[in-house]
């Protein structure tokens, strides 16, 4: 059972990390709580489905087009919906909820509410510590690791990364130093949504694609970022792994309570908010900036 928990928690946690780091990044830089974050993930999954299954394009091309088009859409949404109300946090929150619902209803009209499946990019099962894990799930783990390394490289080894970190550190000073903070925010939105889109494309073949698939991960992502510390990328990764493992432990230790795994994640979020509102890595987050 220990090996099962070890492997299942790691694979699921890595998928959550892909979503959570984007969510956290955009909050850290632009103070935008993007409720539509997982709706972009859903859109990418649908786009991937349409191109791969209905359009007959290859896996790689479908994935690239899906991620690029959803990222472009996020820029349009940022310009039209978020930027005009960016100074008002509540308005941003409400706007992104509205965006998510618009995406959901549009997809419902276009594809209907039926559940759709996408073939795996790699068929077959790998055996890790005696545990059977489909290759597609291991691919998610590899993609998540690659994305984490890329984000670290982008933030710490490029001029854009420097600008993003400077803006995250102090928006006003960054602005006074001549940085175009709006463009930095826009670039961050694009990076953040691209991460969500990559998550959507990579997990779609193992999950079920439906217009409401953004709701459940949203709850998990909120739990992850609250646990890790809102705005902290390092915290998001660790929070995602903690939630992934807690869910796996819930199912293995309490099989009759498997449906409670979402509730356990939410309970962790509530406890963290009560005991340590800045999250586990709140202090580290400040230093990290």
Report the residue number, 247 or 288, with the smaller CB distance to another protein: 247
**Residues 129-188 close enough to bind another protein by CB under 8 A:** 131-134, 136-137
Helix (H) or strand (E) holding 233: helix 233-253
Closest listed residue to residue 245, CA positions, set 225, 229, 224 = 224
- Residue 224 near residue 281, CB atoms below 8 Å: no
Interaction residues for another protein, span 256-285 (CB under 8 A): 256-259, 261-262
What's the DSSP call for residue 53?
I
Residues 34, 23 contacting (CB under 8 angstroms): yes
Q: Total number of residues binding another protein (CB under 8 A)?
A: 43
Alpha-carbon distance of 7 to 169, in angstroms, equals 36
Q: Min. distance of Cβ 47 from another protein in angstroms? A: 17
Nearer to another protein, 8 or 234 (CB): 8
Closest CA to 18 of 256, 251, 236, 263: 236
Q: What is the DSSP letter of 113?
A: S
Q: Which of 10, 12, 100, 166 binds another protein (CB under 8 A)?
A: 12
Pick one of 61, 125, 142, 173: the residue that binds another protein (CB under 8 A): 125
According to the binding rule CB under 8 A, does residue 208 interact with another protein?
yes
Q: Which residues in this chain contact another protein in the complex, by CB under 8 A?
A: 1, 4-5, 8, 11-12, 53, 108, 112-120, 125, 131-134, 136-137, 205-208, 210, 212-213, 216, 247-248, 251-252, 255-259, 261-262
């Amino acid at each position: 059972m220990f090996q099962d928990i070890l492997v299942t928690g790691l694979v699921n946690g890595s998928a959550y990390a892909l979503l959570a780091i984007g969510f956290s990044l955009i909050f850290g830089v632009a103070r935008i709580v993007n409720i539509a974050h997982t709706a972009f993930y859903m859109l990418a999954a649908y786009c991937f489905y349409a191109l791969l299954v209905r359009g007959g394009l290859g896996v790689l091309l479908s994935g690239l087009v899906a991620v690029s088009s959803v990222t472009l859409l996020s820029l349009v949404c940022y310009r039209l919906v978020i930027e005009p109300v960016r100074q008002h946090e509540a308005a941003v929150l409400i706007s992104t909820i509205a965006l998510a619902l618009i995406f959901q209803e549009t997809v419902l009209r276009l594809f209907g509410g039926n559940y759709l499946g996408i073939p795996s990019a790699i068929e077959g099962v790998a055996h890790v510590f005696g545990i059977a894990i489909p290759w597609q799930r291991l691919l998610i783990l590899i993609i998540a690791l690659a994305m984490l390394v890329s984000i670290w490289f982008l933030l710490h080894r490029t001029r854009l990364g420097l600008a993003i970190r400077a803006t995250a550190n102090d928006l006003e000073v960054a602005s006074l130093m001549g940085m175009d903070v709006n463009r930095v925010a826009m670039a961050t939105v694009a990076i953040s949504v691209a991460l969500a889109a990559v998550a959507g494309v990579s997990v779609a073949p193992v999950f079920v694609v439906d217009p409401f698939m953004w709701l459940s991960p949203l709850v998990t992502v909120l739990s992850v970022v609250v646990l890790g510390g809102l705005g902290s990328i390092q915290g998001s990764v660790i929070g995602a792994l903690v939630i992934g493992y807690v869910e796996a432990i819930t199912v293995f230790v309490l099989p009759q309570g498997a449906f409670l795994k979402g509730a356990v994640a939410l309970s962790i979020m509530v406890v963290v908010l009560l005991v340590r509102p800045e999250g586990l890595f709140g202090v580290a987050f400040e230093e990290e900036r």
